[in-house]
Structure formats: structure tokens, C-alpha cells
Structure 1
Amino acid sequence: MSARTMTARTDSRPGRVWFVGAGPGSWDLLTIRAAACLRTADLVVHDALVPPWLRDAIAPTAELVPVERETADGDPGEATGRLLVQLAASGRTIVRLKGGDPAVFARLAEEIQPLRDAGIAYELVPGVTAALAAAAAAAAPLTSRATASSLTLVTGHEAGDKPNAVDFRTIASLPGTLAIYMGIEQMDRWSTALLEAGKPAETPVTIVSRCSWPDQRIITSTLARCAVDAAAAGLRPPAIAIVGAAAGSMQRTGPLAGRRVLVTRPAGQGEDLATAIRGSGGEAICVPVVRLDAPDSWQPLDDAIGAAGAYDWIVFSSVNGVRGFVARLRAAGRDARWLGTARIAAIGSATRRELDSVGLACDLVPDEFRSEGLAAAFADLPAGGRFLLVRADRGRDVLPTRLAAAGHHVVDVAAYTNRSLDSLDAATLEAVDAAGIDWITVTSPSIAAAAARLFGDRMRRWRIASISPVTTAALTSFGLQPAAEAQVATVSGLVAAMATVDGPR
């Protein structure tokens, strides 16, 4: 049992509950362990502080149960705890997904108590809490050997019946930094209390609104003026105020400095692109427009894996195809040895790296990272070859058509499906509008179709970066003309294309 796993009794374990921290909001601040929990959960209980794009990282087979922060049925934390007991009674694995870190101002104690009473095992998976994320976003050090040897976390909202409210006089005397969670709504009250307790009026205050969301905003003020300045700026919750730490300048350099770039890949799939954008000085804002689901049936892929050793070539058209194939291979109790003498081809360098990471040696990567490149690479093979193509359920027919025309036997199976999101909620669109987007990246025809539908005329105001000619063709079919197209269909090629258009900065 993990050191962080607890239970009140050991004679009854109907299920297990994982309290998982979702971080401040951006999916690239989700921890690896948290993402793993979401992929294996049977049921996910989430609240409003978890943004919709993060929920897309949840396993498609998991049931989603939203809970309200306020309820007429007594304490909302205890009500949620009772709900978790009922859900765990079925023996399923439950993830309680909470914004930030589940142990920091998240009503964890109230939700845990019913589980303890029922003898249900639970575990805590920490997340990036708001104070740390906000300090990083503002480049504001929380501690300093010279001026801040302590950090105090305080909530701006107090429970109405709490017998011992925050003692601001004691807090004001501490020689350190104060991070106030949920700080906007009661800013006038707590700033006045700190001033009356003797905190200097010129004490710096950094306020981070909607940290890591597309419409994140950061302002700096003083203790005397913070309430007025926050109201004038129209800052929206959730927000955190850091008292005693001034925001740094954090000047970004590089060809994309000052540019805000919208990353539209599925949740958990855009880390490499976001990292490359930041490495070039830009700001990556992640709003997925498609999600990855299991195919309608695993049977065709399972049958193909069962006969894998009979193929001459197994061809992967994406990273996700590799992941789906390997997951089903392992689920059948098999490994790379089962593939026998079959050779392996990957459509591009990223797919090859994924194969390498799971221990499958790649024999061929075409010079041109698309179906036409693969078809050209196989053009000189004698007829009669046996090919297994592993890809999405809705892919282009270029490769299977050309292979079949050349006299090869082709089996085409789906390892996953791309599904466009039905809609983006009003809060997400409002956040995107407020962010001031400069570029939107489009990395597949399916993302092109989803982005055109979900963002509408916004796409005509933003510059569009396309990863390949195939993606560009999909965009133009919707009347959208990319401002940049990658010379090589890779993340680095896409970033380089945007940098070329923007010019030296």
C-alpha cells in the first residue's frame, strides 16, 4: 500500500477513490501521475474549477459526474463525500478530480470523512497548487533568503461558522510572503485588515486572475491600492493575490516573442508543440478541438494483432496508432516477439520516436512525412506483399489505394478515432477572445474541420499555421488560407514556419 493510501477499516474495500489534483487549469500542468489516473478511471467526479479541455484527457469509457460547489443539502464537501461512498460501492475505480491540489483549500477533509466512516480506501495525487502556478506565471519569487523566509497560504473566503477566523494581525507580523486564495471577492476586506494590523501600505501585491487559462491576466499593485486596481482592471475569479512579492519582468526572447499561439491538439497530445512555441519566445495557449476515443470495436485490431507475424510490413501513420496498437498487444499478453519477421514503418519522425519508446525498432521512415511519402518508399517492392496499416478510423485512402494497385494485400485497421468536440462552452470562447490570439496551429485535416466549425469567423482574424500540404488543403476547403505551412511536417517545422512569417524579433 502506498504511503499516501489510507483507510479506516480493512475488512471492506468495495472500491477505491483517488483524489487527483488537476492543477491550475492548463492541461500541460497536469502531472504524469494525474494523467495516468484519468486514463484508467471508471468514473470521474469533477467540479467547475476543472476546465472542459482538461476533461478531454479522461478515458473515453469513463463516466463523468459533475458536482456543485454549493448545495442545499448541508455541507457541500460532506455531500460529495457521501456521493463518493455510493459510487465506490459498485467496486469501480473513482477519481475525484479537483482544481489545483486536493489538499489545499479544496474541502478535502469534509469529502474524506464519509469515506473513512465507510472504510473505503483512498489516495491523494498532488497537483500544482494555485500559489505556485501564479508565482511562476508572474515570475514572482515566493521566498527570499533576504526578505521572505516563510510562505503563508490563506483563503479569502472563510466558512460562515468557522470559530477561529484568520488572524490578520499575526499574519501581518510574519516576515514572509502571503498567498491569498480566492482573493478577489473579499480583497477590500482582507487588504484593509492587513493595513489595520500594521502591514505597510506600499507592500507589493501581485494578482493573477485565471492562472494558466487562455484569458490569464496579471497586474501588480500595492496593499493600499490592490482592491481599487483589481476592480478597475475587471479581473475575474478564480484569482490569487501574492502579498509581499512583486512580479518580475520575465522578458521572452526569440522569433515568436510576444505572440500568443493557440494549440488545438487533443488534451495530452500537444506538449511537444507547446514546449517548442515557448522555446521560441511565444506563449502557448492550449484549447483542444478534438478528442481521442477508442474505435467502435477493438475486434478488427485484435484480429490483426493475432496474425501480426504473417505480415511483411506493419505501417503506423501516427503516434496514437502506435499507442493503441501496443496497448492491445499488451492486453493480449504479447510483446514485440509476437510480430515475428514483420518489418515496421512510421510515417514520420515523431511516430518513429514513439516506436522506439515502446521497444519496437523502426525499419523505414519516408523522406516526405505523409502518405504519399510512404507510398513512394514502397513503390519498388515486388507485388504480393502483405501490409497491415494501423491508423485512425477516418484516414486518407492514398496509401491503401496505391499499395492495392501495386498488387499488395492490404489490411487497414483503426487503433483510435478522432472525434470533434460538439462545442466549446461559452466560458472557453470568452477566454479565447480575451487572450488576444496571434496564431492558431492546425496539425491535421480533422483538427482543421473541427477548428473551422468551433471557432467560426475567429479563424479569419487569426493567422493560421498548417503542418502540411494535406492540412492546408483541408483548411482551404473551408475557405481558410494559412499564413504559414511547415516545410517539414514536424513540430519544429511548424514553429519555424511561424517564425519565418513573423521575421526576426
Structure 2
Amino acid sequence: MTSSQPLSGKHIVVTRPRGQAASFIDKIEAAGGMVHFVPMLAFRSFSDGRETKRLQQLPTYDWIIVTSKNGVDFFFQQLKGKGIDYNTVIKSRFAAIGTKTAEVLQSYGFHAEYIPEKFSADQFAEEISRGHFKAEKVLIPKGNLARTAIADALRVKGMTADEWIVYETYFPEEEKRHVMDLLTANQTDVLTFTSPSAVRHFMEAAEEANIHTLQESVVACIGPVTKKEADRFGLHTQICPEVYTSESLAEAIVRYFRKEED
């Protein structure tokens, strides 16, 4: 193995959703890794019964907080599907968790005026608690599995926070057999997870394959929330970057195996 190819001979399982994994896979393959792409999550539009009310109230929100790429995409899909001009929210200011989410927001013509120091809901909630973020009335378009940490922190500080579920996450059943085959063939040198849901779905497939230990696999998680879920299933996370992005995760995996060479 050479220093330029620290992942040579390593089977890297990528569970990131389809459409969001390309740059991550590119970095892994550039370091010599053999990628097994098994997206553990898929997304679809969701109706929570509050669309009419939320859409009518759009002009009343001084801030809109988007927490993920999907939150941005499905929020604007809701507007487009109802024939609502994006200029309806032109007076709202936007906050985004992470630079990648901000970039997607920019593609719709809106700028994120606030991004928390670390790209997580818990960090945002902490900054709200410390008085770093202030608003009067906030809308949070989100997924069905997203936690309420940000809304809770806003309400504690006396701000109005309305949550709106605009998409749902589900397990693409067709990938379950793929995971089971990989586990049976022992082609899981590195397991990568970028969300707690991906961990749960992967472990569900592992249980169906009657594999209850993955101690020989290196586990890499994008951040502390995902790591906590992996720990709950008894996985020992060896890699968890300081910056919660897929690019940082790929770089951390490369560094981990480069150290093994030294």
C-alpha cells in the first residue's frame, strides 16, 4: 500500500442517500477504496395537513430555518406545487445548518444570513440559548424524523417557532438484500454513516442476515448524533470528524488509514 492510496484493498460501504453521495464516493475512490454504494435512505414529499395554513402564513415569518438539503428542496417544491411565487418569502431571512445546505439555498436565489458555528441542530440550539440568534416568528421546514431541538430552544427564549414537515424519510427495501449480501461476503472493512436513520436501517438488514457483530469493521460517522446512534447499536465508532460534512468524513477516513501505514 502506498501513501497516495491509503484505502487500497479496503471495501468501503457508503450508505449516504442516492443523489448526495457522488463527491464522497469520488474522494474514497481517489484514495484507492473499493466503494459499495447501498443508500439506506430515500426521500419523498410529505403532506402533514398543515400546508394551507403554513403557506398562508409565509409572509409573516421574519426567519426561515432550513436544516438540510432536503429541507430546502422540498420546501421550494411545496411552493412550486401550489403555484406560489418564491418572492412570497423574499422578506424572510434564512438560516441554514451547514455550508452545503446554504449552497442549495443559494441555488434557489436566497442567501443564508446565519449558519451555526458547527453544522448541527444541537449547536444551533446552543447558540440560540446563548442569545446569538434572535427572531420573532420562525418557520422550520423539516423531515418527519428531524428532532425538535431548534424549535424548543427558540420557544424557551420566547420566540414563535412553527415546524412544517415537508418530506419523509424511508428505507428503500431494494437495498436491504444488497446489505445482507455484503455482510455475508464480509466486504465491510469500513462502514460509513451520515445519519442516525442510516444506522438503524443498516442494522435492521444486519439482523435479518443474522449478523450480530461487526467488530472487524471500522465505523465512520459524520457527527456526534449519528455516532450516538451507532453506539446504541453496539458499534464502536473509530472515525468522527470535527466538521460535520461528507467531505470531512472522507478526509478523516483517509487520515485514519494513512496513520496505520506509519
Please report the TM-score for the alignment, with normalisation by the length of structure 1: 0.47
Q: Structure 1: how far apart are the matches of 2:88 and 2:177?
A: 49
Q: What is aligned with 1:495?
A: 250
| Structure-to-structure mapping, 1:14-413, within 5 angstroms | 253-295=4-46, 297=47, 299-378=49-128, 379-380=130-131, 385-413=136-164
1:494 positional shift: 0.5
1:338 aligned counterpart, secondary structure: helix
User: Partner amino acid for 2:243?
Assistant: V
Q: What is aligned with 1:464?
A: 219
1:381 positional shift: 5.9
Q: How many residues align?
A: 254
Contact 2:179–2:205 (8 Å) recurs in 1: no
Contact 2:122–2:150 (8 Å) recurs in 1: yes
More contact order relative to length (CA 8 Å, sep ≥ 6)? 2
**Could you report, residue by residue, the CA deviation over 1:132-176 in whole angstroms, capped at 9, with x for unpaired residues?**
xxxxxxxxxxxxxxxxxxxxxxxxxxxxxxxxxxxxxxxxxxxxx
Match of 1:442 among 157, 173, 193: 193
User: Partner amino acid for 1:314?
Assistant: I
Quick check: 268-277 or 379-388, which moved more? 379-388
1:420 positional shift: 2.8
Contact 2:183–2:206 (8 Å) recurs in 1: no
Quick check: 433-442 or 282-291, which moved more? 433-442
> When you count helix as a share of all residues, which structure comes out higher?
2
Instruction: Name which one, 1 or 2, has greater alpha-carbon Rg.
Output: 1
Contact 1:448–1:474 (8 Å) recurs in 2: yes
1:265 positional shift: 1.9
Q: Structure 1: how far apart are the matches of 2:111 and 2:133?
A: 23
1:284 positional shift: 2.0
Change (3 A) 1:422 1:466: same
Q: Structure 2: how far apart are the matches of 1:335 and 1:433?
A: 51
**Could you report, residue by residue, the CA deviation over 1:51-105 in whole angstroms, capped at 9, with x for unpaired residues?**
xxxxxxxxxxxxxxxxxxxxxxxxxxxxxxxxxxxxxxxxxxxxxxxxxxxxxxx
1:252 positional shift: 10
Match of 1:429 among 163, 174, 180: 180
User: Partner amino acid for 1:418?
Assistant: T
Deviation >4 Å, runs of 4+: 381-384, 421-428
The Cα RMSD (Å) is: 2.5
Change (3 A) 1:475 1:382: closer
